[in-house]
């Protein structure tokens, strides 16, 4: 009888271990059915101003739709403790931008996130633009009076027309005689 009780305990232990292993295998191979952030929108305006109030909204889905929702602006948490999505499948938050410039608004639930990028302006401090410097002007080019062309002389006229000895040289080169 003693052997029968020990055998049953061992059998029950092995059966329990097999059930635990099978459960772990099913859980490990099943797809995760977490939360999903489907969309993020901003209502209230199309131009965003510092100090004005807007409503951030997110559409949620998935099996873990009831998880807390976290909002951030340029990485700075707007909901440090998280926010319960109410009604189920929707999350919203009032947002008042505190600075001008680009803002990346992000909503996260579970492992899912979505972001939207907006530009916020500040009417009290409009952006300054650097003054434009007019292009440098150049002085008009200096013009000079036209010069008169040099005077030319005709060959054989005037005082420097040459000599007969020069003509003889030419005759010698051309095959003629330089003697007279």
> Can you list the domains of the chain with their CATH numbers?
35-121 (2.60.40.10)
Q: What is the pLDDT of residues 82-131, one digit of tens each?
A: 999 888 899 999 999 999 999 999 999 999 999 999 999 998 876 666 55
Q: What does R_g of the chain's alpha carbons equal in angstroms?
A: 49
Q: What is the pLDDT of residues 9-54, one digit of tens each?
A: 565 556 554 544 544 443 333 344 588 999 999 998 889 999 999 9
Nearest partner of 91 among 65, 118, 110, 53, judged by Cα? 65
**Residue 24 tokens, joined:** 């772990």
Within 13 Å, how many C-alpha atoms sit on residue 102's CB side? 5
Residue 51: per-residue pLDDT: 94
Residue 41: per-residue pLDDT: 94
Q: Which residue, chain included where needed, has tokens 């005689």?
A: 177
pTM of the model: 0.53
């Amino acid at each position: 009888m003693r052997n029968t009780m020990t055998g049953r305990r061992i059998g029950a232990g092995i059966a329990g271990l097999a059930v635990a292993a099978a459960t772990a295998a099913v859980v490990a191979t099943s797809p995760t059915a977490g939360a999903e952030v489907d969309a993020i929108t901003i209502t209230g305006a199309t131009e965003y101003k510092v100090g004005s109030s807007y409503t951030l909204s997110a559409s949620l889905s998935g099996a873990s739709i009831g998880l807390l929702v976290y909002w951030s602006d340029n990485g700075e948490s707007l909901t440090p403790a998280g926010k319960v999505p109410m009604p189920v499948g929707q999350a919203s938050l009032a947002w008042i931008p505190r600075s001008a410039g680009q803002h990346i608004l992000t909503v996260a639930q579970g492992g899912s996130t979505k972001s939207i990028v907006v530009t916020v302006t500040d009417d009290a401090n409009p952006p300054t633009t650097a003054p434009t410097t007019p292009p440098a002007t150049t002085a008009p080019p200096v013009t000079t009076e036209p010069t008169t062309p040099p005077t030319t002389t005709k060959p054989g006229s005037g005082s420097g027309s040459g000599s007969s000895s020069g003509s003889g040289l030419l005759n010698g080169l051309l095959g003629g005689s330089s003697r007279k």
